[in-house]
Amino acid sequence: MKILKNSILTVFAVSLLFIGCTSEPYTETNDVNRDLVVVDDIAAEAVTPVTIVPWSSGDAASECEQAGAGCDFSWKIDDSPENGIYNTNTDQYGNTPTDFDLSIKILNSDGIYFDWSTDYEVCAVIVKGGPGANVYYYPDGACSDSDLHAPINPANGTPYGLSHVTFCFSETPCDTDPSECFEDETAWADGERYTNRGNWATYTAYPGDGESVDIYAGKTNYAGTVTFNDNGDGTVDLDIALEDGFIFYYDMADDSADHNIKIQDYDTSPSGNPSPGLFDHKFTASAGASSMTVTVPMNEFYGIHLDVGAEVPCDG
Protein backbone atom coordinates (compact mmCIF):
# COMPACT_ATOMS: atom_id res chain seq x y z
CA MET A 1 0.00 0.00 0.00
CA LYS A 2 1.45 3.37 -0.99
CA ILE A 3 0.92 6.39 1.23
CA LEU A 4 1.39 9.90 -0.19
CA LYS A 5 2.65 12.45 2.30
CA ASN A 6 2.42 16.19 1.82
CA SER A 7 4.97 18.87 2.63
CA ILE A 8 3.83 19.41 6.20
CA LEU A 9 3.68 16.36 8.47
CA THR A 10 3.74 16.62 12.23
CA VAL A 11 4.24 13.46 14.27
CA PHE A 12 0.62 13.32 15.34
CA ALA A 13 -1.30 15.59 12.94
CA VAL A 14 -1.73 13.42 9.90
CA SER A 15 -4.51 11.40 8.31
CA LEU A 16 -3.96 8.12 6.53
CA LEU A 17 -6.69 6.54 4.41
CA PHE A 18 -5.72 2.87 4.12
CA ILE A 19 -7.80 0.53 2.00
CA GLY A 20 -8.17 -2.99 3.32
CA CYS A 21 -6.53 -4.59 6.32
CA THR A 22 -4.30 -7.54 7.10
CA SER A 23 -6.17 -10.80 7.40
CA GLU A 24 -5.29 -13.34 10.05
CA PRO A 25 -3.47 -15.56 10.54
CA TYR A 26 -0.44 -13.66 9.36
CA THR A 27 1.39 -14.94 6.29
CA GLU A 28 3.86 -13.33 3.94
CA THR A 29 1.17 -13.00 1.28
CA ASN A 30 -0.44 -10.24 3.41
CA ASP A 31 2.28 -7.89 2.14
CA VAL A 32 1.72 -8.34 -1.60
CA ASN A 33 -1.10 -5.95 -2.56
CA ARG A 34 -0.30 -2.22 -2.47
CA ASP A 35 -2.92 0.53 -2.66
CA LEU A 36 -2.64 4.28 -3.11
CA VAL A 37 -3.15 6.41 -0.01
CA VAL A 38 -3.12 10.19 0.46
CA VAL A 39 -1.96 12.05 3.57
CA ASP A 40 -3.58 15.47 3.71
CA ASP A 41 -2.02 18.89 4.19
CA ILE A 42 -2.31 21.48 5.86
CA ALA A 43 -1.41 20.53 9.47
CA ALA A 44 -2.28 23.08 12.16
CA GLU A 45 0.54 24.32 14.34
CA ALA A 46 -0.03 24.36 18.13
CA VAL A 47 -3.54 25.81 18.15
CA THR A 48 -4.74 26.87 21.61
CA PRO A 49 -8.52 26.63 21.92
CA VAL A 50 -10.79 29.42 23.11
CA THR A 51 -13.09 28.14 25.87
CA ILE A 52 -16.65 29.46 25.79
CA VAL A 53 -18.87 28.79 28.84
CA PRO A 54 -21.78 28.41 28.66
CA TRP A 55 -22.15 27.09 25.14
CA SER A 56 -25.54 27.14 23.42
CA SER A 57 -25.79 23.91 21.44
CA GLY A 58 -27.68 23.95 18.16
CA ASP A 59 -27.36 22.85 14.58
CA ALA A 60 -24.05 23.13 12.76
CA ALA A 61 -24.80 26.47 11.11
CA SER A 62 -25.89 28.17 14.34
CA GLU A 63 -22.86 26.87 16.24
CA CYS A 64 -20.41 28.13 13.61
CA GLU A 65 -22.20 31.50 13.66
CA GLN A 66 -22.02 31.56 17.47
CA ALA A 67 -18.27 30.91 17.26
CA GLY A 68 -17.80 33.65 14.67
CA ALA A 69 -15.96 31.15 12.50
CA GLY A 70 -16.41 33.04 9.24
CA CYS A 71 -16.75 29.99 6.99
CA ASP A 72 -19.63 29.38 4.59
CA PHE A 73 -20.26 25.72 5.42
CA SER A 74 -20.70 23.63 8.55
CA TRP A 75 -21.21 20.05 9.65
CA LYS A 76 -21.82 18.44 13.03
CA ILE A 77 -21.05 15.04 14.53
CA ASP A 78 -23.82 14.98 17.12
CA ASP A 79 -22.09 12.56 19.45
CA SER A 80 -18.61 11.69 20.63
CA PRO A 81 -16.73 11.20 17.33
CA GLU A 82 -15.70 7.67 16.47
CA ASN A 83 -12.73 6.63 14.37
CA GLY A 84 -13.66 6.54 10.72
CA ILE A 85 -14.73 8.68 7.79
CA TYR A 86 -17.73 11.01 7.85
CA ASN A 87 -19.08 12.33 4.54
CA THR A 88 -21.11 15.54 4.41
CA ASN A 89 -23.19 14.42 1.44
CA THR A 90 -25.70 13.29 4.05
CA ASP A 91 -27.58 16.19 5.64
CA GLN A 92 -26.84 16.16 9.36
CA TYR A 93 -27.54 18.99 11.82
CA GLY A 94 -26.83 21.95 9.57
CA ASN A 95 -25.59 23.21 6.25
CA THR A 96 -24.54 20.75 3.62
CA PRO A 97 -22.75 22.04 0.50
CA THR A 98 -24.51 21.19 -2.72
CA ASP A 99 -21.59 21.37 -5.15
CA PHE A 100 -18.90 19.48 -3.26
CA ASP A 101 -18.64 16.91 -0.47
CA LEU A 102 -16.35 17.14 2.54
CA SER A 103 -14.80 14.00 4.00
CA ILE A 104 -13.92 14.27 7.68
CA LYS A 105 -11.51 11.62 8.91
CA ILE A 106 -11.40 10.98 12.67
CA LEU A 107 -8.33 9.29 14.15
CA ASN A 108 -7.25 8.18 17.62
CA SER A 109 -10.57 9.08 19.27
CA ASP A 110 -10.94 7.78 22.81
CA GLY A 111 -13.92 9.80 24.03
CA ILE A 112 -11.64 12.52 25.43
CA TYR A 113 -9.15 13.38 22.68
CA PHE A 114 -9.23 12.98 18.91
CA ASP A 115 -7.34 13.87 15.72
CA TRP A 116 -8.97 14.96 12.48
CA SER A 117 -8.25 15.67 8.83
CA THR A 118 -10.35 16.88 5.91
CA ASP A 119 -10.13 17.41 2.17
CA TYR A 120 -11.40 21.03 2.36
CA GLU A 121 -9.89 23.74 4.54
CA VAL A 122 -11.41 24.18 8.00
CA CYS A 123 -11.55 27.56 9.77
CA ALA A 124 -12.83 26.33 13.15
CA VAL A 125 -13.65 23.16 15.07
CA ILE A 126 -16.06 23.36 18.01
CA VAL A 127 -15.57 20.65 20.65
CA LYS A 128 -18.47 20.46 23.12
CA GLY A 129 -18.18 18.84 26.53
CA GLY A 130 -19.60 19.76 29.95
CA PRO A 131 -21.31 23.17 30.08
CA GLY A 132 -18.98 24.78 27.54
CA ALA A 133 -17.07 24.25 24.33
CA ASN A 134 -13.50 24.64 23.13
CA VAL A 135 -13.28 26.44 19.81
CA TYR A 136 -10.15 25.77 17.77
CA TYR A 137 -9.69 28.61 15.27
CA TYR A 138 -7.67 28.24 12.06
CA PRO A 139 -7.66 31.72 10.45
CA ASP A 140 -5.38 30.58 7.62
CA GLY A 141 -7.31 27.35 7.08
CA ALA A 142 -6.19 23.90 8.20
CA CYS A 143 -6.63 20.37 6.89
CA SER A 144 -5.65 18.41 10.02
CA ASP A 145 -4.99 18.77 13.73
CA SER A 146 -4.45 16.51 16.72
CA ASP A 147 -5.26 16.11 20.41
CA LEU A 148 -8.44 18.19 20.35
CA HIS A 149 -10.52 18.04 23.53
CA ALA A 150 -13.44 19.66 25.34
CA PRO A 151 -12.96 22.25 28.14
CA ILE A 152 -11.20 21.24 31.34
CA ASN A 153 -13.39 20.04 34.20
CA PRO A 154 -12.33 22.15 37.23
CA ALA A 155 -13.33 19.34 39.58
CA ASN A 156 -10.55 17.04 38.38
CA GLY A 157 -8.32 19.06 36.06
CA THR A 158 -8.99 16.82 33.06
CA PRO A 159 -11.12 17.43 29.95
CA TYR A 160 -14.83 16.73 29.97
CA GLY A 161 -15.91 13.80 27.82
CA LEU A 162 -16.72 14.63 24.21
CA SER A 163 -20.38 15.54 23.67
CA HIS A 164 -20.32 16.59 20.02
CA VAL A 165 -18.03 18.20 17.45
CA THR A 166 -18.87 20.81 14.79
CA PHE A 167 -16.69 21.62 11.79
CA CYS A 168 -16.81 25.05 10.11
CA PHE A 169 -15.20 24.84 6.67
CA SER A 170 -14.75 26.55 3.32
CA GLU A 171 -14.85 25.34 -0.28
CA THR A 172 -11.07 25.69 -0.63
CA PRO A 173 -9.68 22.20 -1.33
CA CYS A 174 -6.67 20.95 0.57
CA ASP A 175 -3.45 20.53 -1.39
CA THR A 176 -2.97 16.80 -1.88
CA ASP A 177 0.11 16.90 -4.11
CA PRO A 178 2.54 14.53 -2.41
CA SER A 179 6.16 15.27 -1.63
CA GLU A 180 6.84 12.02 0.23
CA CYS A 181 5.41 8.54 -0.27
CA PHE A 182 5.30 5.41 1.87
CA GLU A 183 4.41 1.75 1.36
CA ASP A 184 2.89 -0.29 4.13
CA GLU A 185 5.03 -3.06 5.58
CA THR A 186 4.74 -5.65 8.32
CA ALA A 187 7.50 -5.38 10.91
CA TRP A 188 8.66 -7.68 13.71
CA ALA A 189 11.17 -7.40 16.53
CA ASP A 190 14.18 -9.48 15.52
CA GLY A 191 14.79 -12.95 16.88
CA GLU A 192 14.02 -16.57 16.15
CA ARG A 193 11.43 -17.49 13.54
CA TYR A 194 8.17 -18.90 14.84
CA THR A 195 8.36 -21.54 12.14
CA ASN A 196 10.78 -22.29 9.33
CA ARG A 197 7.88 -22.84 6.96
CA GLY A 198 5.30 -20.37 5.68
CA ASN A 199 6.40 -16.94 6.89
CA TRP A 200 9.24 -14.99 8.43
CA ALA A 201 7.54 -13.80 11.65
CA THR A 202 10.00 -13.67 14.55
CA TYR A 203 9.90 -13.60 18.35
CA THR A 204 12.57 -12.34 20.72
CA ALA A 205 13.84 -13.46 24.10
CA TYR A 206 13.74 -10.85 26.86
CA PRO A 207 17.17 -9.22 26.43
CA GLY A 208 17.51 -7.68 29.90
CA ASP A 209 16.71 -4.34 31.48
CA GLY A 210 17.74 -1.42 29.28
CA GLU A 211 18.66 -3.63 26.33
CA SER A 212 17.39 -3.14 22.79
CA VAL A 213 16.31 -5.42 19.96
CA ASP A 214 16.27 -4.42 16.28
CA ILE A 215 13.04 -4.16 14.29
CA TYR A 216 12.85 -5.36 10.69
CA ALA A 217 10.17 -4.52 8.12
CA GLY A 218 9.52 -6.71 5.11
CA LYS A 219 11.92 -9.28 6.59
CA THR A 220 15.21 -7.53 5.75
CA ASN A 221 14.74 -3.75 6.10
CA TYR A 222 16.05 -2.29 9.34
CA ALA A 223 13.20 -0.20 10.77
CA GLY A 224 14.26 0.78 14.30
CA THR A 225 14.58 -0.63 17.79
CA VAL A 226 12.52 -1.68 20.78
CA THR A 227 14.11 -1.11 24.20
CA PHE A 228 13.02 -3.11 27.26
CA ASN A 229 12.81 -1.28 30.62
CA ASP A 230 11.93 -3.30 33.72
CA ASN A 231 9.42 -1.44 35.92
CA GLY A 232 10.13 -3.67 38.91
CA ASP A 233 6.45 -4.50 39.39
CA GLY A 234 6.02 -7.44 37.05
CA THR A 235 5.71 -5.24 33.98
CA VAL A 236 8.12 -3.96 31.36
CA ASP A 237 8.01 -0.82 29.24
CA LEU A 238 8.75 -1.31 25.55
CA ASP A 239 10.12 1.88 23.98
CA ILE A 240 9.57 1.53 20.23
CA ALA A 241 11.60 3.95 18.09
CA LEU A 242 11.26 3.74 14.32
CA GLU A 243 14.17 4.61 12.04
CA ASP A 244 14.04 7.70 9.82
CA GLY A 245 11.91 6.90 6.78
CA PHE A 246 9.41 4.79 8.74
CA ILE A 247 6.09 5.76 10.34
CA PHE A 248 3.26 3.92 12.02
CA TYR A 249 0.28 3.58 9.74
CA TYR A 250 -3.39 3.65 10.66
CA ASP A 251 -6.00 1.61 8.82
CA MET A 252 -8.96 3.95 8.23
CA ALA A 253 -10.90 1.09 6.65
CA ASP A 254 -11.19 -0.41 10.13
CA ASP A 255 -14.51 0.58 11.73
CA SER A 256 -12.97 0.54 15.19
CA ALA A 257 -9.65 1.71 16.56
CA ASP A 258 -6.87 0.24 14.52
CA HIS A 259 -4.15 -1.54 16.49
CA ASN A 260 -0.84 -1.02 14.73
CA ILE A 261 1.12 -2.52 17.64
CA LYS A 262 0.36 -6.12 18.66
CA ILE A 263 2.39 -7.94 21.31
CA GLN A 264 2.25 -11.41 22.82
CA ASP A 265 4.31 -12.48 25.83
CA TYR A 266 5.32 -16.12 26.37
CA ASP A 267 6.82 -18.04 29.28
CA THR A 268 8.27 -20.62 26.86
CA SER A 269 9.48 -20.25 23.30
CA PRO A 270 6.50 -20.33 20.88
CA SER A 271 6.12 -22.28 17.66
CA GLY A 272 3.71 -22.43 14.73
CA ASN A 273 2.23 -19.59 12.66
CA PRO A 274 1.37 -16.61 14.90
CA SER A 275 -1.93 -14.74 14.66
CA PRO A 276 -1.16 -11.12 15.63
CA GLY A 277 -4.87 -10.29 15.62
CA LEU A 278 -5.24 -12.67 18.57
CA PHE A 279 -2.28 -11.30 20.55
CA ASP A 280 -3.16 -10.31 24.12
CA HIS A 281 -1.69 -6.80 24.08
CA LYS A 282 -2.80 -4.32 21.40
CA PHE A 283 -2.00 -0.62 21.12
CA THR A 284 -2.53 2.23 18.67
CA ALA A 285 0.27 4.64 17.83
CA SER A 286 -0.90 7.89 16.24
CA ALA A 287 -0.93 7.86 12.47
CA GLY A 288 2.43 9.11 11.24
CA ALA A 289 4.13 8.76 14.61
CA SER A 290 7.64 7.35 14.78
CA SER A 291 7.79 6.31 18.45
CA MET A 292 5.59 4.77 21.12
CA THR A 293 6.04 3.37 24.64
CA VAL A 294 3.76 0.56 25.80
CA THR A 295 3.61 -1.52 28.97
CA VAL A 296 3.22 -5.31 28.98
CA PRO A 297 3.76 -8.12 31.51
CA MET A 298 7.30 -9.25 32.23
CA ASN A 299 8.00 -12.61 30.62
CA GLU A 300 10.67 -14.73 28.93
CA PHE A 301 9.76 -14.21 25.25
CA TYR A 302 7.86 -11.68 23.14
CA GLY A 303 6.28 -11.51 19.72
CA ILE A 304 6.21 -7.82 18.70
CA HIS A 305 4.28 -7.09 15.49
CA LEU A 306 4.08 -3.57 14.00
CA ASP A 307 2.23 -2.06 11.03
CA VAL A 308 4.52 0.56 9.52
CA GLY A 309 4.95 2.65 6.39
CA ALA A 310 8.34 2.67 4.64
CA GLU A 311 9.33 5.72 2.59
CA VAL A 312 9.60 5.06 -1.16
CA PRO A 313 9.95 7.23 -4.29
CA CYS A 314 6.69 8.92 -5.28
CA ASP A 315 7.07 8.22 -8.99
CA GLY A 316 6.53 4.50 -8.72
* pLDDT tens sequence across 125-144: 999 999 999 999 999 999 88
What does the pLDDT read at residue 108? 79
Average pLDDT, the chain: 81
What does the pLDDT read at residue 316? 52
Reported as a pLDDT band with limits 50, 70 and 90, residue 32 is very low
What does the pLDDT read at residue 47? 85
CA distance 201 to 124: 45
Lowest mean pLDDT among 2-11, 258-267, 306-315: 2-11
What does the pLDDT read at residue 186? 93
Mean pLDDT computed over 105-124: 89
What does the pLDDT read at residue 54? 96
Q: Name the residue with higher pLDDT: 234 or 87.
A: 234
Q: Does residue 294 have a pLDDT over 70?
A: yes
What does the pLDDT read at residue 302? 99
What does the pLDDT read at residue 146? 86
CA distance 55 to 236: 44
Reported as a pLDDT band with limits 50, 70 and 90, residue 280 is very high
Q: Does residue 93 have a pLDDT over 50?
A: no
CA distance 289 to 250: 10
State residue 156 phi and psi, 5-degree precision: -135, 0
Cβ contacts of residue 129 below 8 Å, gap of 6+?
Answer: 149, 150, 151, 159, 160, 161, 162, 163
Mean pLDDT computed over 196-222: 94
Q: Could you write out the three-class secondary structure of the chain?
A: CEEEECCCCCCCCCCECCCCCCCCCCCHHHHCCCCEEEECCCECCCCCCEEECCCCCCCHHHHHHHHCCCCCEEEEECCCCCCEEEECCCCCCCCCCCCCCCEEEEECCCCCCEEEEEEEEEEEEEEEECCEEEEEEEEEEEEEEEEECCCEECCCCEECCCCEEEEEEEEEECCCCCCEEEEEEEEEECCEECCCCCCCCEEEECCCCCCEEEEEECCCEEEEEEEEEECCCCEEEEEEEECCCEEECCCCCCCCCCCCEEEEEECCCCCCCCCHHHCCEEECCCCCCCEEEEEEECCCEEEEEEEEEEEECCCC
CB atoms closer than 10 angstroms to residue 155: 8
CA distance 162 to 149: 7
What does the pLDDT read at residue 312? 87
Q: Does residue 196 have a pLDDT over 60?
A: yes
CB atoms closer than 10 angstroms to residue 267: 9
Q: Does residue 171 have a pLDDT over 50?
A: yes
What does the pLDDT read at residue 288? 75
Q: Kind of pairing, strands 221-230 and 132-148?
A: unpaired
What does the pLDDT read at residue 97? 53
Mean pLDDT computed over 233-240: 98
Q: Does residue 247 have a pLDDT over 50?
A: yes
Lowest mean pLDDT among 11-25, 153-167, 219-233, 262-276: 11-25
Lowest mean pLDDT among 29-43, 47-61, 196-210, 249-263: 29-43
C-alpha distances in Å from residue 72, one per residue of 11, 32, 96, 192: 30, 44, 10, 58
Reported as a pLDDT band with limits 50, 70 and 90, residue 168 is very high
Reported as a pLDDT band with limits 50, 70 and 90, residue 25 is very low
**What is the per-residue pLDDT across 73-88, written as a single tens digit (0 to 9) for each?**
888 998 899 888 887 7
Lowest mean pLDDT among 60-64, 174-178, 201-205, 206-210: 174-178
Q: Name the residue with higher pLDDT: 91 or 30.
A: 91
- Selection from 251, 259, 276 nearest residue 25 by Cα: 276
What does the pLDDT read at residue 244? 93
